[in-house]
A = this chain, B = another copy of it.
Amino acid sequence: MTIQDPLLHYYERITCSAQWKQFNRALAAELSVGLPPEENRQLFVRIGERVVQGMPVTRCNTLDELQVAFNAQWEAIDWGFCTLQEAGEHLSITHVCSPLAMAFGPDAVDWSSGFFEGAYQTWFAAQGIPPELRVRIDAPAEGNGASKVLLKLARSAS
C-alpha cells in the first residue's frame, strides 16, 4: 500500500454521482436476484452499445488520436479515461476512474463491466475494424482496483 491508496479510495468512493448511487445499487440488487449473470452481462453490453451510439467518434488515423477522441467523450460525462496499447496480436484497452464499479457494487463487476465491451466494440466497429476482432474483458490484473477495467481487442477465437 502506497500513500496514494487512501486518496484513490476516497476518489473512487465519491466517483458515482450521489443522485444515482443508491438507485444503481438497488437496480443491481434487483437484477442479481432476477436474472442469471450472463443475461445481466448481455444487458450491460447492449447499454454500452447504445450509450456510445449517442457519443460518436470521428475516424482516426492513429491509436493516439483515437485515445484522445474516446477520452473527450468519456470526460464529458465524468466516466474516467482509457489507455490504448498495442501488444503483439492484440490491443489492450485499460479503462480507469469510471463510476461503474461504485455504482453497481463489487458483486456486480463481473457483469456490469460488459458495458465497456459493448461500448468499445461499437466504437471500434465504427472505425472499420475487421468483424472478427472482438472486444472482451481480459483476465483481471492482480491487485486490480475496482475502478480499473482491462479489455482486449483480438480475434474472437483468441
Q: A18-B78, A20-B17, A78-B18 are in contact. Are A27 and B47 (CB under 8 A)?
A: yes
Contacts of A89 in B (CB 8 A): none
**A4 CB contact (under 8 Å) in B5, B55, B80:** B5
CA distance A25 to B77 in the complex (A): 14
Main secondary structure on A side of the interface with B:
helix
Q: Mark A1-31, 1 if CB is under 8 A from B, else 0.
A: 0101111101100111111111111110110
Query: Chain B nearest CB: distance from A118 CB in Å?
Result: 10
Task: For the complex, count residues of A whose C-beta is within 8 A of B.
Answer: 43
A59 contacts B by Cβ under 8 Å: no
Within 8 A of B (CB), among A29-55: 29-30, 34, 43, 46-47, 50-51, 54-55
A96 contacts B by Cβ under 8 Å: yes
Q: Mark A129-151, 1 if CB is under 8 A from B, else 0.
A: 00000000000000000010000
Q: A8-B4, A80-B10, A96-B7 are in contact. Are A43 and B19 (CB under 8 A)?
A: no
With A10-B80, A10-B97 given, can you name 4 additional A-B contacts, CB distance below 8 Å? A7-B97, A17-B20, A22-B55, A26-B46
A residues in contact (CB < 8 Å) with B: 2, 4-8, 10-11, 14-27, 29-30, 34, 43, 46-47, 50-51, 54-55, 75-81, 96-97, 99, 147
The 4 closest A-B pairs by CB, nearest first: A26-B50, A11-B11, A17-B17, A4-B4
